[in-house]
Structure 1
Amino acid sequence: MITTHNNQLPIPNPVEADAKARELLRVWAGGGKQHVALATGLWKDPANWGIMLVDLAKHLARAYEQTDNLDQAQSLARIKAGFDAEWNSATDNPEGGIEQEKGS
């Protein structure tokens, strides 16, 4: 059973046509907390997640440039500053565990 929510983002068009496409992660804000679903076991080397996170940060910086007219390089620097600040002094610690897909 796939559960949908009115506030979920659309699936990008190129993904719709790719039978091999796979969702990597889903991050939700709800109840004052962050909730995540991860495609565990996707990569053997955790460094691949680091590459994906940097790529994601670059997409975010580009989005800020396109939607808020903020300089892409400055936005990326702010994202990295936030990452570094959270890395050095966490405001939250992950909780929970691995759950099976609904309907599995």
Structure 2
Amino acid sequence: MTMPFDALEIPPTALDRGGVEILRAGIVEGGLHISLRRSFDDPQAWGIALADIARHVARIYAMETGAAESLTLERIRNMLDAEFDTPSDPGSTTAIS
């Protein structure tokens, strides 16, 4: 049974203060599909954004499963390092205007 794509809600602060969406991601048939904007002049800012995302993921796991944030963050970091070293799927990128 195929379910319709269930988009997440826009963060309340983004609705109140405006801003720009930088990343949208979905899993389709087990694969990651994303849309993104370059967004930052300095690519190091993406490192900060991705680290912030990982911390949010760790908090959600803690809230929903009781897993320790620190352990979840460590597991994310370990897999991130492994994926950088040996990608399981390098994927492809297409620019869409």
Report the TM-score when normalising by structure 2: 0.88
Instruction: Give 4+ residue runs of structure 1 displaced > 6 Å after superposition.
Output: none
SS in 2 for 1:29: strand
Deviates more, 1:70-79 or 1:23-32: 23-32
In the alignment, the residues of structure 1 paired with residue 5 and residue 89 of structure 2 have an alpha-carbon distance, to the nearest angstrom, of 27
Question: Identity across aligned pairs (percent)?
Answer: 30
Q: 1:38 to 1:52 in 2, by over 3 A?
A: same
Do structure 1's residue 11 and structure 2's residue 21 form an aligned pair?
A: no
| Structure 2 gap segments, 5+ residues each | none
Does residue 46 of structure 2 align to residue 49 of structure 1? yes
Find the partner of 1:73 among 46, 63, 70. 70
TM-superposition CA deviations, 1:4-58 (whole Å, max 9, x none): x641111111211112x11110111113321111112x21111000110001101
Higher relative contact order (CA 8 A, sep 6+): 1
SS of match in other structure, 1:17: helix
The equivalent residue for 1:33 is 31
Structure 1 residue runs without a partner (length 5+) = none
Structure number with higher helix proportion: 2
Q: Calculate the aligned-residue CA RMSD, in Å.
A: 1.3
**How many corresponding residue pairs?**
94
CA shift, 1:96, in A, is: 3.3
TM-score (ref. length: structure 1): 0.83
